[in-house]
């Protein structure tokens, strides 16, 4: 994943098509999902080790965003005490948008995931 803006555009196009084809994701949730995926990918590229893998799965209940890197020994460090002008607020923002989120390590991989809502309930 070398082209973060390109991946972002592809995901936005894909999720927009998914909205047109099925009720899995409402249009008003597209930007939140794109932003969440962008934050997860940016963190993996900035704080993890390549290669970075992205997986997106849709279901009736939501959209699972999963980003894996090769830095299993380096857990995510969300913070709410840092000055927002210094960055580091992305995981907190993802948690605010998501139905659920978390991370796990397996072998040499760290996987950070978020389940984004598919509609307004």
Q: In order of start, what are the domains of the chain with their CATH numbers?
A: 4-78+101-117 (3.30.565.10)
For residue 103, the model assigns a pLDDT of: 95
Side-chain-facing half-sphere of 38: CA atoms under 13 Å: 16
Convert the pLDDT of each residue in 66-97 to its tens digit. Answer: 999 999 999 888 766 665 555 566 888 899 98
pTM of the model: 0.81
Q: Going edge to edge, which strands form the sheet with 109-117? A: 53-59, 62-69, 109-117, 100-106
- From 6-10, 13-17, 39-43, the region with the lowest mean pLDDT: 13-17
For residue 76, the model assigns a pLDDT of: 86
Where would I find the H helices in the chain? 4-21, 30-47, 90-97
Nearest to 115 by CA among 44, 45, 61, 40: 61
The first and second tokens of residue 82, run together, are 């840092």
- From 14-23, 62-71, 74-83, 95-104, the region with the lowest mean pLDDT: 14-23
């Amino acid at each position: 994943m070398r082209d973060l803006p390109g991946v972002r555009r592809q995901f936005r196009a894909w999720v927009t098509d998914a909205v047109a084809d099925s009720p899995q994701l409402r249009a008003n949730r597209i930007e939140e999902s794109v932003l969440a995926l962008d934050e997860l990918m940016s963190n993996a590229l900035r704080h993890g080790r390549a290669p970075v893998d992205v997986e997106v799965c849709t279901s009736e209940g939501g959209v699972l965003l999963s980003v894996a890197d090769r830095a299993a020994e380096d857990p995510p460090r969300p913070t709410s005490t840092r000055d927002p002008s210094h960055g580091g607020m992305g995981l907190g923002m993802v948690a605010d948008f998501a139905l659920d989120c978390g991370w796990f390590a397996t072998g040499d991989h760290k996987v950070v995931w978020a389940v984004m809502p598919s509609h307004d309930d």
